[in-house]
Structures are given as structure tokens and as C-alpha cells.
């Protein structure tokens, strides 16, 4: 079974034939929303809305540990995280879809690990490649089959939010090597790695980052929402092909 975590722009998964909904409890509290189980073309899929019903949970308030733990208990084959980002790199224009391969964490005060018990030996998780190579490859191949243009690779800068960044902050991120900026990439990715889940992100560029493109003075939020709505059609097309290719 494939798990999809929906972010801004994907509050539900169109095309999913829902069989049931389940609210799960974990040692870390309740996930952001009920898990929605169903099928796409006869293949089992579970969907979780990262920001909750009605998009009411801010990025820094998401219970990432509960979300990932709940999916792990279901023994899903892979987790696809859908995210919206701001484009820093010049060719990452609004509407672009990209599969990042690296991440830089600028978040703080988030519950970022499962290894907190002082009576256990310290665990150092290998995070050299933060996204599952096999799952990334499957996403790229699904995009090719779907006829969707997609960028392979890029550095995701995970910022705290919920505010957007200043031009100076984006300039700093660019100097650090970031290609895009978002608010939910961490600690979601490392928590998935700690539990041994195959995890990858499919990101849609919702807007130019501050100081880039037409975002010299401000970011046009209405245009952002329109771009997300349009690009999510392409994302769903890719996900449908990924599910179709899933081997039971």
C-alpha cells in the first residue's frame, strides 16, 4: 500500500475510491487528520492531510511524529509527501514540479526525533541521502509515463514558518545551495528515515521565493493558490501512474 501525505493544495486525493476513514492514536498523540483508506485503479492507497481538515494546522504545529508513526504501523510500502515550495533557482518557475534529492533544515523547536529516551543508547541515523533513491526513481518514471515534465533533483530548504521569508533570507538560502524553500520538509523526512520508511517528496513550485521573479515587492497569494490548484492536476496524474505501477 502506498501512503500519500497531502500538503497545501492537496487537502484530499481526487480519484480515490474511499473505503473507510480511521482516526488513529499513537504514543505521540493523534495524527493531523483521520487516515483515509481507498483504492485507485484497484490499488490500495492511504491518504493523510498534513495540515488537517480545513487546513488549520500551521507548519510548525504539525504533529509530524504522530503522522509518520501512524503510517509506519500500517506497514506501507512507501510514503509520498506532496509539498508546495517557493522557487529560488531561476528555472524553478511557478507551476514547476520537482523531486528534490537533498534538504537543509532551518527549523527549530520541532519534535524532530523518536530517540529521546535517556535510558537508551544514542542512535545516529544516516541521513546522507535524505530521500529514498528507489522511491524517487519510481516517481520520476511515473512522471515520464504520465507525460509530465519534471525536474530531477534539487535542494529543499526547510524553514520554520508560518511566515514567508525576507529577500535577505532567501539570498542566504541561495548562498547555502538551496534551490527551493518550504516549511514542512523537516522533521518529516528524518522521522520517516528513523522508522525505516521509504519516503520521497514531490514538490510543486507555487510561487517565486522573495526577491525572485515577480516577487520583488511581495508574493501574490491569490496567484499562488491558483497555481497550486492547476499544478495539483499534474501531480495527481503522476501519483495515479505511480499507484498503477505499484507491485503488490
Convert the pLDDT of each residue in 84-113 to its tens digit. 999 999 999 999 999 999 999 999 999 999
The DSSP letter of residue 77 is S
pTM here is 0.93
CA separation for the pair 224, 43 (Å, rounded): 32
pLDDT at 216 over 80: no
185, 206 contact by CB (below 8 A)? no
pLDDT at 172 over 90: yes
Q: In this predicted model, what pLDDT tens digit does every residue of 24-61 receive, in sequence order? A: 999 999 999 999 999 988 889 999 999 998 889 999 99
Task: Please report the domains of the chain, with CATH numbers, ordered by start residue.
Answer: 2-244 (3.40.50.1580)
Return binding residues: 8, 50-51, 183-184, 207-209
Residue whose C-alpha is closest to residue 185's, from 128, 110, 135: 110
pLDDT at 17: 87
- Give residue 126's pLDDT: 97
Query: Residues annotated as binding site for substrate?
Result: 183, 207-209
So what's the pLDDT on residue 218? 80
- What is the rounded distance in angstroms from the CA atom of residue 235 to the CA atom of residue 180? 17
Which residue positions form the known binding site for phosphate? 8, 50-51, 184
pLDDT at 226: 86
With bands split at pLDDT 50, 70 and 90, how would you rate the model's confidence at 219? Answer: confident
Paired sense of beta strands 199-208 and 97-99, if any: antiparallel
The per-residue pLDDT for 9 is 64
Amino acid at each position: 500500500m502506498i501512503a500519500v501525505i497531502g500538503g497545501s493544495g492537496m487537502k484530499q486525493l481526487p480519484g480515490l475510491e474511499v473505503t473507510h476513514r480511521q482516526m488513529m492514536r499513537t504514543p505521540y498523540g493523534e495524527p493531523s487528520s483521520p487516515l483515509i483508506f481507498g483504492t485507485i485503479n484497484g490499488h490500495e492507497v492511504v491518504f493523510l492531510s498534513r495540515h488537517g481538515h480545513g487546513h488549520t494546522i500551521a507548519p510548525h504545529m504539525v504533529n509530524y511524529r504522530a503522522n509518520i508513526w501512524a503510517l509506519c504501523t500500517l506497514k506501507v510500502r512507501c510514503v509520498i509527501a506532496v509539498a508546495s515550495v517557493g522557487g529560488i533557482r531561476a528555472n524553478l518557475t511557478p507551476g514547476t514540479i520537482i523531486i528534490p534529492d537533498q534538504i537543509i533544515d532551518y527549523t527549530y523547536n520541532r519534535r524532530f526525533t523518536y530517540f529521546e529516551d535517556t535510558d537508551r543508547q544514542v542512535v545516529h541515523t544516516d541521513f546522507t541521502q535524505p530521500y529514498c533513491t528507489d522511491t524517487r526513481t519510481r516517481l520520476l518514471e511515473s512522471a515520464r509515463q504520465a507525460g509530465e515534465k519534471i525536474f530531477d533533483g534539487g535542494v529543499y530548504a526547510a524553514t520554520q514558518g508560518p511566515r514567508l521569508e525576507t529577500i535577505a533570507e532567501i539570498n542566504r538560502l541561495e548562498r547555502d545551495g538551496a534551490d527551493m524553500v518550504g516549511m514542512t520538509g523537516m522533521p518529516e523526512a528524518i522521522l520517516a528515515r528513523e522508522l525505516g520508511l521509504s519516503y520521497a517528496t514531490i514538490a510543486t513550485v507555487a510561487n517565486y521565493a522573495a526577491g525572485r521573479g515577480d516577487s520583488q515587492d511581495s508574493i501574490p497569494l491569490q496567484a499562488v493558490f491558483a497555481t497550486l490548484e492547476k499544478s495539483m492536476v499534474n501531480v495527481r496524474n503522476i501519483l495515479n501512474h505511480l499507484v498503477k505501477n505499484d507491485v503488490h
